[in-house]
Amino acid sequence: MRAGPNLLFPALVLVLAACGPKETDPGPGGVTVGEARALDEAAEMLDSRTEPPPLPTASPTPQPSGDQASGDMAAN
């Protein structure tokens, strides 16, 4: 039994795993690979959110009636 091939396979796997892009390598759109990944994750999180319920409508501000407004003018 030879020990060489049994040890070579795990070493080869480790070497190939290190061949991917680094976090600081330039990525699409002038951002790093890490920044692009973070932006993609944020976009997925926003897309998965449900729409919030609508806000309640504000009640109109009460306006003085015509009688009160004319009474104030008469006092002047």
Q: What is the pLDDT of residues 23-37, one digit of tens each?
A: 777 777 788 888 888
Q: Which residue has the higher pLDDT, 65 or 75?
A: 65
Other Cβ atoms less than 10 A from the Cβ of 45: the count is 9
43, part of any domain = yes
| Residue count (the chain) | 76
57 falls within a domain: no
CB 32 within 8 A of CB 23: yes
For 43, the domain range is 23-47
pTM of the model: 0.39
Q: Residue 60 falls within a domain, yes or no? A: no
Judge whether 36 and 28 are in contact, CB under 8 Å. Answer: yes
Indicate whether 53 belongs to any domain.
no
pLDDT digits over 34-70, tens only? 888 899 999 999 888 888 778 888 777 777 766 655 5
23, 34 contact by CB (below 8 A): yes
Domain presence at residue 37: yes
pLDDT at residue number 3: 55
User: How many domains does the structure of the chain reveal?
Assistant: 1
Residue 30: the pLDDT is 82
